Amino acid sequence: MVKEQQHIDYDAYIRQGEPDKSKRAEAWRVAIGLQAVDGLTTSDYLNETARRNIEGEINIDEARQLVKTYYQKKKTREPDDNEKQEADEVSGNISKLLQTDAFTYSVAGFAAIHKAIFDGVFKHAGRFRDYDITKKE
């Protein structure tokens, strides 16, 4: 039996007009959407954690730490947990980046963005590589 993924209506938060919630919802919607473009699906745990951040119950750093701790303490691993963990952690990193308005459009800025997104996920975060990184998709 396939468990249906928890759905959060990010657009409803964005439409409601409360600036802080709207900004956080947009950041999460974009972050999770970027994972979907890469063929990755976030976990129900991440979606619930994102909701808590949008609602203002926890800040973005607490949300990211909760996700990290969730995977560290998880005793039973599912076949897709590695991909979900990557999607969850990267979504949290992207959401933090979008919530802080810290974009700098330069070579150094792009390297810093890459490091911010993939820090703790990939060892090469923020470094330029000189080999083929094409994914088989």
Using alpha carbons, select from 127, 110, 117 the residue that is nearest to residue 38.
Answer: 117
Q: What sign does the CA torsion over 102, 107, 112, 114 have? A: positive
Q: Dump pLDDT digits (tens) for 62-98.
A: 999 999 999 999 988 888 899 999 999 999 999 998 8
Higher pLDDT, 114 or 60: 60
Encoded tokens for 69: 């701790």
Q: Dump pLDDT digits (tens) for 9-45.
A: 777 767 776 778 889 999 999 999 999 988 999 999 9
Higher pLDDT, 28 or 111: 28
Residue 10: the pLDDT is: 73
Residue 137: the pLDDT is: 62
pLDDT of 2 > 60? The answer is: no
